Amino acid sequence: MINIYGYISTLIEIYTYMIIAYVLLSWLPAARDSFIGEILGKLVEPYLSIFRRFIPPIGGMIDISPIVALIAIRFVGEGIVAVLQMVFR
């Protein structure tokens, strides 16, 4: 059962790094049009769009939705692990 906790934690960590990489690519003009940028966009943008619907950019330019998304994915991941630990004890 410990393996499941490890898998969940690893998947959440990988997705967290993908979000961070996608945000960093947004600082480079041509990076999002690259092969890696397009793949990351297809994988990360559906998740980020949920938060962008409710959190408008600050000053019209600064998007804080990835920060909230990262906090949310960590919170949900820890919650899933805690529930699984309670169920399978």
Mind listing the pLDDT tens digit for each residue in 4-13? Answer: 888 888 999 9
Over residues 16-74, the pLDDT tens digits come to 999 999 999 988 878 888 899 999 999 999 999 999 999 888 887 888 999 999 999 99
Confidence of residue 3 (pLDDT cuts 50, 70, 90): confident
Are 17 and 9 contacting, i.e. CB atoms less than 8 angstroms apart? no
Contacts of 74 (CB under 8 A, 6+ apart): 12, 16
Closest CA to 18 of 36, 44, 45, 42: 44
- The structure's pTM equals 0.87
